[in-house]
Structure 1
Amino acid sequence: MTEILVLYYSRDGSVARMAQLIARGVEEIDRVEARIRSVPAVSPVCEAVAEPIPQQGAPYASLDDLTQCAGLALGSPAYFGNMAASLKSFLDTTGALWLSGAMAGKPAAVFTSSGTLHGGQESCLLSMMVPLLHHGMLLLGLPGTQTELATTTTGGSPYGVSHWAGVDDNNEISAEEARLCRALGRRLAETALRLSAAAAAAQQGDPGQ
């Protein structure tokens, strides 16, 4: 089975719900499964303050999860147009993977949620793309042929999936947002399969192997 890592930080639950929908889209593609992982909360000085094992929700990610996956969906709430410190803190530990090229060539996508409409969603998505580019990952967005991008009145972006949670996290994920989440998961899974197949074919055709 080809495995896609859905990795996120969620404070109030919206990003976690999006992660579940993206994972559902991933698993709509044959021979692909999703592994959902989260990261622990950190203090304002970026020291871990959460228990080693979460009491609820997805298990915490390890560097092995990143090494073993065939693709990555990365999610965070939008804080002042940027990713959450908790997610950034985890990404800052991936230097050894960068040095070895362990994530290079793998497809990746990003997703976010904000309390206010727009609320820095697209700049947050871009902030998550930057470390993935340093790792040499292949970034995927949502094409204009995804009609929900033109009809949504809440979240939705060609840079990745977004959700308008409301200031009290009281907005349910809309039908358009949900379809975009699943579409992004499917696109990520399909791309990972194509890349894996191309790599296998190239290896079989190489007389040096």
Structure 2
Amino acid sequence: MKVLVVYYSMYGHVHALANAVVAGAQQVAGVDVVFRRIREFPENVEHMKKEGGYAYQVYQGQQSIPECTLDDLRAADGMVFGSPTRYGNMTAQAKALIDSTASLWLGGDMEGKPVGFFTSTASTHGGQETTLVSMMFPLLHLGMLIVGVPYSLPGMIHTEARGGTPYGASTIAGPRGELQPTAEDLAIATSLGKRVAEVTLAVRAKK
């Protein structure tokens, strides 16, 4: 049984959450975790290359992770989908992947598959929840089953400036990307990966 963890990350924060999600899914026996990144726009790669800054270093550091294809989505039994926030929504790169799934929608290939979500924002109120919820909309159109994060998980109820929402795992990157996911943020991401894997196993067992 395959659980696909697919993400887009420009500065590494969502990549860190993705690694935690992978670790959580790998805790479930019988699950084969497939790790994929979302394709960067070629013009962005050229721009980052010319600047030669931190974003390009992060991009280069992710080259060993294969890009996600429609075949990856089709073959997965469950999925966890991650993207940073752009104006309260997912990135254009992440949306481009979803917008390319018309053939999967027509064939019903994604129907009944569990899916969870994770994100990062620059600030505490930077759109974590709107991004996670808006990521759900197109995947509901594909017929997928939404898996959230219950408040029974340790670290979910807090008043600190960090991530963790019932809609998915999250973290705060800081206005200059200077922050890293807290131990609590990573633990919630790990729990999300495990939860999606467990739900996927349960759904498959009933088919």
TM-score normalised to structure 1 length: 0.87
Say which SS state the counterpart of residue 188 (structure 2) adopts. helix
Aligned to 1:204: none
My pick for the range that moved more, 151-160 or 74-83, is: 151-160
Is the aligned partner of 1:150 residue 2:149?
Answer: no
Deviations 1:108-137 (A, max 9, x none): 011100111130110000111011100000
Following superposition, the deviation at residue 33 of structure 1 comes to 2.4
Give me the whole-angstrom Cα distance separating, in 1, the residues matched to 2:15 and 2:144: 23
Aligned to 1:192: 200
Large movers: runs of 4+ above 4 Å: 48-51
Say which SS state the counterpart of residue 122 (structure 1) adopts. helix
Following superposition, the deviation at residue 55 of structure 1 comes to 4.4
* Greater gyration radius: 1
Following superposition, the deviation at residue 50 of structure 1 comes to 4.5
Aligned to 1:123: 130
Percent identity of paired positions between Structure 1 and Structure 2? 40
Give me the whole-angstrom Cα distance separating, in 2, the residues matched to 1:68 and 1:105: 13
- Contact 1:40-1:49 within 8 A present in 2 as well: no
- Contact 1:113-1:165 within 8 A present in 2 as well: yes
Following superposition, the deviation at residue 152 of structure 1 comes to 6.1
Q: How many residue pairs end up in the alignment?
A: 192
Is the aligned partner of 1:80 residue 2:95?
Answer: no
Aligned to 1:8: 7
Give me the whole-angstrom Cα distance separating, in 2, the residues matched to 1:85 and 1:167: 20
CA RMSD of aligned residues (A): 1.6
Following superposition, the deviation at residue 6 of structure 1 comes to 0.7
Give me the whole-angstrom Cα distance separating, in 1, the residues matched to 2:99 and 2:38: 12
Following superposition, the deviation at residue 96 of structure 1 comes to 0.3
Say which SS state the counterpart of residue 149 (structure 1) adopts. coil
Following superposition, the deviation at residue 49 of structure 1 comes to 5.2
Aligned to 1:173: 181
Structure with more of its chain in helix, by fraction? 2
Following superposition, the deviation at residue 41 of structure 1 comes to 2.0
Deviations 1:149-170 (A, max 9, x none): 1136201100000100111222
Unaligned regions of 5+ residues in structure 2, if any?
Answer: 47-58
Say which SS state the counterpart of residue 2 (structure 2) adopts. strand
TM-score normalised to structure 2 length: 0.88
Give me the whole-angstrom Cα distance separating, in 2, the residues matched to 1:74 and 1:152: 26
